[in-house]
Amino acid sequence: MSANTAQSASAAYDGLRALFGDRFSTAAAVREHHGRAETFFPAMLPDAVIFPHSTEEVAAAVRHCAAHAIPIVPYGVGTSLEGNFLAAQGGVCVDLSQMQRLLRVSEEDLDCTVEAGVTRKQLNEELRHTGLFFPIDPGADATLGGMAATRASGTNAVRYGTMRQNVLGLTVVLPDGRIIRTGSRARKSAAGYDLSGLFIGSEGTLGIITEVTLRLYGQPEAISSGVCEFATLRGAVDTVIQTIQMGIPVARIELVDELQIRAVNRYSKTDLAECPTLFLEFHGTPAGVAEQSTQFGEIAAAHGGGGFRWTTNTEERTALWDARHKAYYADLALKPGGTALSTDVCVPISSLCDCITETRAAVDASGIIGPIVGHVGDGNFHVVMVFDPDSADEVARAKALSERIVELALAHGGTCTGEHGIGIGKKGYLIAEHGEDAVDLMRAIKRAIDPAGIMNPGKIFDL
């Protein structure tokens, strides 16, 4: 850092300290917390962290940083998996977790507006008395601003879609400190460019999302969840394909391979059979979920399913999905002291079986521990590669395996990331997926909105 740059940074930090008082920190522990990802990326610490309480405070902070050319990194609760929030060039981390107000709920219109730091669990707890809920469930209790920024989805996407389909509008602070509001509460619009769609999935590289207007849904009258084991992977995937093609409105359908089941059994003290398994959930009326469960059971039996067991008991359903959501930590426990690199690819559902089979072969050939789990109703699956971070050989094999998995997905007409985003980890695959001209257009958009390049620099693509 040059003397002039250091002086400019110091002036910016003095201004932020004056604005935020004890909500401005350069403490080592605070910076560490905001500069380390759960997955395998080196620490990249911000120089300072601020904790705003309003859109106006965010805008004031951004104006200060823009005036001094200080990088800005938005932060929710740090659950992203591709290094999306790491401070690749230092600068100021804007932690939105204290912006936790539910600003508005319209039960009649089935929508609400929340500040970016509200988490999905917090929102659903607030909505409980209304008979409404927000269904997008990425597993972690992420902030809704972060979920919009990474275009998150998760286990319920097969029925309810991703954040892209469930965000009606946004409040965004631009890189020069201006505040804009995108979209509206109308369910459709033909008015101009889709600016909400531009910022959803932009990973904080175009601005900071401070408020989100969301679609809500009526809480289902009845929910059934179940487990079905299969002798073969193809039998499980063919069951998924036929279930979707027949229009059975399954809410969640998760594929867990035998290694992942072994990890879940050890970690969550379950006793599931160690074979390819589907976890499912149906939403509707009591008669509806019973009919859907019966229909699914018949399809599964035709493809070698070993008896579909389902329940509407709340405690049993909660235990089942709790075990599924803890799969990542169960995987880490397979190699004590190890770390993980989590892939995330998505393919057309017709290619799912072939792609997973080829992926399983690639994992086995690598010698890396790699359980497979996926939101297979929409063709999305993950491999959690667990390895010794101090072994250069294992690190190299894990990275090579990650590349191979993406190559397989792209060869099947898929994408390098279905829900985790690009961040730092997937930058190398963007041109292979979209082509040089398309990525150049993305760069042009970035330069037009953020000419100084201060918003979450180093993410998605290199300028």
CATH number at residue 386: 3.30.70.2740
Q: What is the pLDDT of residues 300-348, one digit of tens each?
A: 999 999 878 888 888 888 888 888 888 989 999 999 999 998 889 999 9
Confidence (pLDDT) at 22: 96
Distance between CA 284 and CA 280 in Å, rounded?
14
Q: What is the DSSP letter of 426?
A: T
The 8-class DSSP code of residue 98 comes to T
Residues 87, 121: one domain?
A: no
CATH number of the domain residue 20 falls in: 3.30.43.10
Of 218, 245, 274, the one marking the end of a domain is 218
- Confidence check: pLDDT of 258 > 60: yes
What pLDDT shows up at residue 39? Answer: 77
Query: Is the predicted pLDDT of residue 281 greater than 50, yes or no?
Result: yes
Residue 274 phi/psi, 5-degree rounding, is: -85, 80
**137 in the same domain as 164:** yes
**Domain range for 240:** 222-329
**Do 372 and 421 fall into the same domain?**
yes
213 and 119 belong to one structural domain: yes
> Is the domain of 378 the same as that of 443?
yes
Question: Which of 434, 345, 419, 363 has its CA nearest to residue 155?
Answer: 419
Count: domains in the chain: 4
Same domain, 154 and 213: yes
Determine the Cα–Cα distance for residues 414 and 56; give it in Å rounded to an integer.
Answer: 40
**Amino acid 308: pLDDT:** 84
457 assigned to some structural domain = no
pLDDT band at 4 (very low <50, low <70, confident <90, very high): low
209 and 175 in a common domain: yes
Is 54 part of any domain?
A: yes
Percent of the residues in the chain that have a pLDDT greater than 90, as a whole number? 81
Of 52, 68, 95, the position where a domain reaches its end is 95
Judgement on whether residues 80 and 107 belong to the same structural domain of the protein: no
Averaged pLDDT for residues 258-267: 94
Instruction: Using the predicted structure, report yes or no on whether residue 389 has a pLDDT greater than 50.
Output: yes
Is 415 part of a structural domain of the chain?
A: yes
Mean pLDDT of the chain: 93
Closest CA to 205 of 181, 174, 179: 174
Supply the CATH number for residue 312's domain.
3.30.70.2190
In this model, does residue 80 exceed pLDDT 60?
yes
Nearest alpha-carbon partner for 69 in 462, 450, 449, 461: 450
Please tell me the predicted confidence (pLDDT) of residue 12. 75
307 shares a domain with 229: yes
Same domain, 379 and 418: yes
Residue 296 belongs to a domain: yes
pLDDT for 1 equals 46
pLDDT of residue 75: 98
Phi-psi sector, 202: left (phi>0), alpha (psi -120 to 50), beta = alpha
31 in any annotated domain: yes
* pLDDT for res 2: 45
Q: Helices then strands (H, E): number in the chain?
A: 17, 19
**Is the pLDDT reported for residue 8 higher than 70?**
no
Residue 40 contacts by C-beta under 8 Å, 6 or more apart in sequence?
A: 339, 340, 341, 387, 389, 395, 398
- Residue 246: pLDDT above 70? yes
194-198 mean pLDDT: 96
Same domain, 348 and 431: yes
Quick check: is 459 in a domain? Answer: no
Looking at the fold, whether 325 and 352 belong to one and the same domain comes out as no
Q: Is 81 a residue whose pLDDT tops 90?
A: no
Residue 462 lies inside a defined structural domain of this protein: no
pLDDT of residue 41: 87
Average pLDDT over residues 122-151: 95
Percent of the chain with pLDDT over 70: 98
Flag whether 455 is in a domain: no
Top pLDDT among 392 and 425 is at: 392
Question: Given 329, 364, 381, which residue is the final one in a domain?
Answer: 329
pLDDT mean over 33-48: 91
pLDDT at residue number 6: 56
pTM beyond 0.85: the answer is yes
